[in-house]
Amino acid sequence: MSEVLALPAHKDEAWRYADLEALAALWPLPDAEAVVVPANGAFARAVVQDAGGVTRLNLTLERGARAAVHVLNTGAVFGRVELAVTLHEGADFTLGAAQLGGGEATLEVVATVRHAEPGATSRQVVRSVLAGRATGTCLARVEVAKGAVGTDAVQSIRAMLLDRTATANAKPELEIFADDVKCAHGCAVGELDPAGLFYMASRGIAPAEAKKLMLQAFIAEAFVGAQAEERLLALALHALGALV
Amino acid sequence: MLQIHNLHATVADKPILKGLSLTINAGEVHAIMGPNGAGKSTLGYTLGGRPGYDVTGGEVLFCGQDLLALAPHERAAAGLFLGFQYPVEIPGVSFVQFLREAANAQRRHRGEEPLSGGEFLKLAREKAALLRMDMDMLKRPVNVGFSGGEKKRAEMVQMGILAPRLAILDETDSGLDIDALRICGEGIEAIMRKPDKAVLLITHYQRLLDYVKPDFVHVLAGGRIVRTGGPELALELEEQGYEAVAA
């Protein structure tokens, strides 16, 4: 019992990169919000967390249900978004998340998507832009249960470092106990292309604007198809202004 | 318009330009020719202010301003256009968005009113038509998936939209087929052959000069201009090679 309530430590894999000092102030965390999307139902949620905190959401998608969760995680603080998703037969899930942090920010997306039954599909797209001494982490896990044939799961995790002092952690994970599944994951950490920045400057675009244009395109990938796409992009662009 | 005096520049601490001087007046077209490694592209990049191209001596005046004191985007706003030998791909940013941002950034910098969406599209359509480029291509990400020739034509469309005073065109003719060469050449003439504008063509070959007739041809070798002449010098180079002419 006491173990459950105890503050996590860095040796706990899911909390390895967390800001534990900030977490202590929030501890104990309230229970995760649990949502069950009924068979063939649809669910959409935009999570905008711009002043830190921990958001936890447990989703269960019944047969043929669809859900899309889009996340904008920003601010110069500790901000964590946790998702635990269970997909039943033929369900479809999309996670699109952008994390934008500078200063000493610690931003995290921790997602587990469990394909419990056959024929479910999932996509996870996470984009982080990190400046200063910020840390951005993405722990994304796909579990394919025994018998969950026909699973189609995609993970794309990318981070852009604006300063060499910033840190990106990316851990895409696949755990597969079924045959005949399609699981793809990709992960990259990089910097803005200096040749592209000079090209833009040579056309008259000032460095900060050039960076914003390139980063906007980078982040937009996380919000494609979101119900709140325009609002999320506008908020993200505003947050970018503070980083470049 | 442009006065380069005794310019020295290094790339990764290696001296490339070694005392280059050149004056370009409004209304003139100059061609710089020279063998590989002579410093032609370095001259373009140095004038454009590319990071990594360090000026170690000399001065450059552009319309009376100290060009070297300006940041690259300020040089563009002052009226300098650099046509790239290898135009850069920028995924996710459409040409239309990129160019509207660029045109209006320059206008704001000069204290002019920005173009409205409609005004900009009208201008873009006009210049795209001049270069026989389908407007749909400008809705695609900057240079992504463009052929070599399309990239060069897109450079000329950009030049048309941005309306610079001086265009430095680095091997605009490379990678062009015969038709595209003519279209680009005619585009340069239409956009830049004006009494208040000037062009510096950087090229290996005489063929572009059939369409854009230079007033002056310079031979660049060893980081300096070693010979200057009229259009006939380009023909002489074509016949005899750089070694004979530059010696």
Integer Cα distance of A54 and A80 in angstroms: 5
- Other residues' Cβ atoms within 10 Å of the Cβ of residue A75: 20
In the chain, the amino acid numbered A93 is F
Q: Report yes or no on A16 lying in a domain.
A: yes
- Pair of tokens at residue B232: 């006939």
Q: What distance in Å separates residue A190's CA from the closest CA in chain B?
A: 14
Question: Of A133, A206, A195, nearest to B76 (Cα)?
Answer: A206
Is the Cβ pair A213, B105 closer than 8 Å? no
In this prediction, residue B241 carries a pLDDT of 83
Is the Cβ pair A199, B88 closer than 8 Å? yes
Q: Which pLDDT tens digit goes with each residue over A82-129?
A: 999 999 999 999 999 999 999 999 999 999 999 999 999 999 999 999
* Distance from chain centroid for Cα A170: 10
Q: Report yes or no on A213 lying in a domain.
A: no
In this prediction, residue B44 carries a pLDDT of 95
Q: How many CA atoms lie within 13 A of A120 on its CB side?
A: 34
| A237 has a chain B CB within 8 A of its CB | no
Find residue B175's DSSP bridge partners: none
In this prediction, residue B36 carries a pLDDT of 85
Contact in structure between B90 and A216 (CB atoms under 8 Å):
no
Q: Report yes or no on A153 lying in a domain.
A: yes
CA dihedral sign of residues B220, B226, B227, B233: negative
| B195 has a chain A CB within 8 A of its CB | no
On chain B, the residues whose CB falls within 8 A of the CB of A201 are 49, 71-73, 76
CA dihedral sign of residues A229, A234, A239, A244: positive
In this prediction, residue B245 carries a pLDDT of 74
- Other residues' Cβ atoms within 10 Å of the Cβ of residue A119: 18
In this prediction, residue A123 carries a pLDDT of 97
In this prediction, residue B120 carries a pLDDT of 94
Q: Report yes or no on A69 lying in a domain.
A: yes
Look up the pTM and report it: 0.88
Find residue B24's DSSP bridge partners: B2
Q: Report yes or no on A150 lying in a domain.
A: yes
Q: What distance in Å separates residue A192's CA from the closest CA in chain B?
A: 10
Q: Report yes or no on A237 lying in a domain.
A: no
SS (H, E, C) chain A: CHHHHCCCCCCCHHHCCCCHHHHHHHCCCCCCEEEEECCCCEEEEEEEECCCEEEEEEEEECCCCEEEEEEEEECCCEEEEEEEEEECCCCEEEEEEEEEECCCCEEEEEEEEEECCCCCEEEEEEEEEECCCCEEEEEEEEEECCCCCCCEEEEEEEEEECCCCCEEEEEEEEEECCCCCEEEEEEEEECCCHHHHHHHHHCCCCHHHHHHHHHHHHHHHHHCCCCCHHHHHHHHHHHHHCCC
Is the Cβ pair A203, B90 closer than 8 Å? no
Q: What distance in Å separates residue B168's CA from the closest CA in chain A?
A: 11
SS (H, E, C) A162-223: CCCCCEEEEEEEEEECCCCCEEEEEEEEECCCHHHHHHHHHCCCCHHHHHHHHHHHHHHHHH
Integer Cα distance of A130 and A132 in angstroms: 7
* Closest CA in chain B for residue A206: B73
In this prediction, residue B247 carries a pLDDT of 62
Contact in structure between A168 and A159 (CB atoms under 8 Å):
yes
**Tally of domains in chain A:** 1
Contact in structure between A63 and A39 (CB atoms under 8 Å):
yes
Position A1 confidence tier, pLDDT thresholds 50, 70, 90: very low
Q: How far is CA B140 from CA A226, B76, B77, B146, B153, in A?
A: 22, 23, 25, 9, 14
In this prediction, residue B125 carries a pLDDT of 94
**For B115, which DSSP code?**
P
Q: In the sheet that A135-144 helps form, which strands lie side by side, from edge to edge?
A: A33-37, A53-61, A78-87, A106-115, A135-144, A167-176
In this prediction, residue A4 carries a pLDDT of 54
Domain that holds residue A44: 2-192
- Other residues' Cβ atoms within 10 Å of the Cβ of residue A224: 12
Which H or E run contains B86? none
Predicted complex: ipTM over 0.90: yes
| B11 has a chain A CB within 8 A of its CB | no
Question: Locate tokens 């711009």: which residue?
Answer: A50
Is the Cβ pair B51, A194 closer than 8 Å? yes
Q: What distance in Å separates residue A210's CA from the closest CA in chain B?
A: 9
| B71 has a chain A CB within 8 A of its CB | yes
Could you state, in chain order, the average pLDDT of each consecutive group of 10 residues for chain B (247 residues)?
96 94 96 89 95 96 96 96 95 92 93 93 94 91 92 95 96 88 93 96 88 94 91 86 75
In this prediction, residue A5 carries a pLDDT of 73
Is the Cβ pair A196, B90 closer than 8 Å? yes
- Non-local CB neighbours of B78 within 8 Å, separated by 6+ positions: B62, B63, B65, B67, B70, B165
Integer Cα distance of A143 and B239 in angstroms: 70
Q: Report yes or no on A224 lying in a domain.
A: no
Question: Locate tokens 């105890």: which residue?
Answer: A6
Instruction: Return mean pLDDT, chain A.
Output: 94
- Pair of tokens at residue B18: 């070694």
Q: At what angle are helices A194-202 and A207-223 packed, to 10 degrees?
A: 120
pLDDT at A73 over 70: yes
Find residue A152's DSSP bridge partners: A121, A182
Give mean pLDDT, residues A35-41: 98
Q: Report yes or no on A217 lying in a domain.
A: no
Q: Which pLDDT tens digit goes with each residue over A189-211?
A: 999 999 999 999 999 999 999 99
Q: How far is CA A42 from CA A39, A62, A68, B170, B202, in A?
A: 9, 10, 8, 55, 60
In this prediction, residue A2 carries a pLDDT of 41
Q: Is residue B93 exposed (0-12), middle (13-18) or buried (19+ Cβ within 10 Å)? A: buried
On chain A, the residues whose CB falls within 8 A of the CB of B93 are 213-214, 216-217
Question: Locate tokens 């675009």: which residue?
Answer: A205
Closest residue to A204, CB basis, from B77, B84, B88: B77
Domains of chain B: 2-246 (3.40.50.300)
